[in-house]
Amino acid sequence: MLKRHSADIDMKTYQTIPIEECNDPLVDIPAEPFSFTQPHPYVVLEAPYGEASPWMLRQCVLDALLQAHDELNVRRPGWRLKLFDAYRPVPVQAFMVWREFRLQAERAGRSLASYRDLSELMGHDPDLYGVLASRVFEFWGVPSDDLRTPPPHSTGAAVDLTLQNALGQEIEMGSPIDETTERSYPDYYANATSPLMLAAHENRVLLNKVMASAGFCRHGNEWWHFSLGDQMWAWARRKSVAIYGRVR
């Protein structure tokens, strides 16, 4: 099984890319031609969206996603891109990151019940914070309030998604979206001997091809995360600037 290489993505490095906001509007994602994960998984957890909707993207990012969907249908007639998550306000990012910290602590036999948030944990137990952060931030963006370093989803330029066949069934991808293990690395199953896992790898390759055809760039550690125009995209594409900063 292939593991990611540390050079694939450096969270601190990509955040050094400057942002020249292009003011492309944040718009609703139309019901067609996509499929959606319903109910939205973070809304179910009562993440603090307020009046915002998770089903939003920048207009040009949405246009590119429609192109990717057309490309998928050329390759697999009747298939759809199934969206899991898109726009994520910073308070939602903070909510989900803190939840992941608690989950990782539980798996390690620890409890964060005495802490209210990341700041308290950092202040009272920096060693534990460091251990948990090394895993959490391998997958989750830092919920920064700094306009120079927005979480990718808070720019409206990132989307988490999978594939759905013509029968309306999700395609096997080898791990669920948001799993924080090595199985989520895009090429984890590249050398698998199991036919099922080899098929999962080919499905990941297909998803990446249709998204890349429309200009998207995949997260180095997550088979499901794609962005266009944000800092991560600019870093991966060796661009001098990103065109999308935090929306709100």
Nearest C-alpha neighbor of 219 from the set 2, 59, 4: 4
Residue 13: pLDDT band by 50, 70, 90 thresholds?
A: confident
In this predicted structure, what is the pLDDT of residue 12? 67
Indicate which residue of 51, 106, 170, 222 is catalytic. Answer: 222
> Which are the contacts of 169, defined by CB distance < 8 A and separation ≥ 6?
none
pLDDT in tens, 97-112: 999 999 999 999 999 9
User: In whole numbers, what is the pLDDT of the chain averaged over residues?
Assistant: 93
pTM across the whole model: 0.92
10 has a pLDDT exceeding 50: no
140 has a pLDDT exceeding 90: yes
In this predicted structure, what is the pLDDT of residue 150? 96
7 has a pLDDT exceeding 60: no
CB 161 within 8 A of CB 170: no
> Which amino acid type is present at position 127?
D
Q: What are phi and psi for residue 202, nearest 5 degrees?
A: -65, -35
Q: What is the mean pLDDT of residues 91-97?
A: 96
Q: What is the mean pLDDT of residues 72-82?
A: 98
For 6-87+155-236, CATH number out of 1.10.240.10, 3.40.190.10, 3.30.1380.10, 3.30.70.260 equals 3.30.1380.10
The ranges assigned to domains in the chain are 6-87+155-236
**172 is annotated as an active-site residue:** no
